[in-house]
Amino acid sequence: MYAIIQTGGKQYKIEEKSILDVELIDAKDGKIEFNDVLLLNDGKKIVVGTPYIKNCKIKAEILKEVKGPKVIAYKYKKRKNYRRKRGHRQKYSKVQITKIEMS
């Protein structure tokens, strides 16, 4: 059984017990629920939403907050002695899928 969900402007293929990095989510108790389910495959049939599937919920828990790789932005202008170097590390939430529910 797998599903395709949308969160943070991106789409992810998930299965139960899978771990993935999504855009930073602020949940105080560590439990989260995804309602934007685009596709659900239970092994026998495939349900496609228009755009989302109603009565379908994905339950997950946030394991920890992690940082992605460093991205360097470097600007310069030739012959003007102008240089700017700036780094950025995006924060992500490491999420484990606990249950896929279809009611």
Q: Can you name the residues that pair with 19 across neighbouring β-strands?
A: 96
Query: Which residue do the tokens 């228009």 mark?
Result: 50
**Is residue 27 scored above 90 in pLDDT?**
no
> CB of 40 within 8 A of CB of 55?
no
Judged on CB neighbours under 10 Å (0-12, 13-18, 19+), 71 is exposed
Residue 51 DSSP label: S
Q: What pTM did the predictor assign?
A: 0.83
Q: What is the pLDDT of residues 39-93, one digit of tens each?
A: 999 989 999 999 999 999 999 999 999 999 999 999 999 999 999 999 999 999 9
pLDDT band at 33 (very low <50, low <70, confident <90, very high): very high
pLDDT at position 24: 95
On the question of pLDDT at 103 being above 80, the answer is: no
Per DSSP, 69 falls in state E
What does the pLDDT read at residue 102?
86
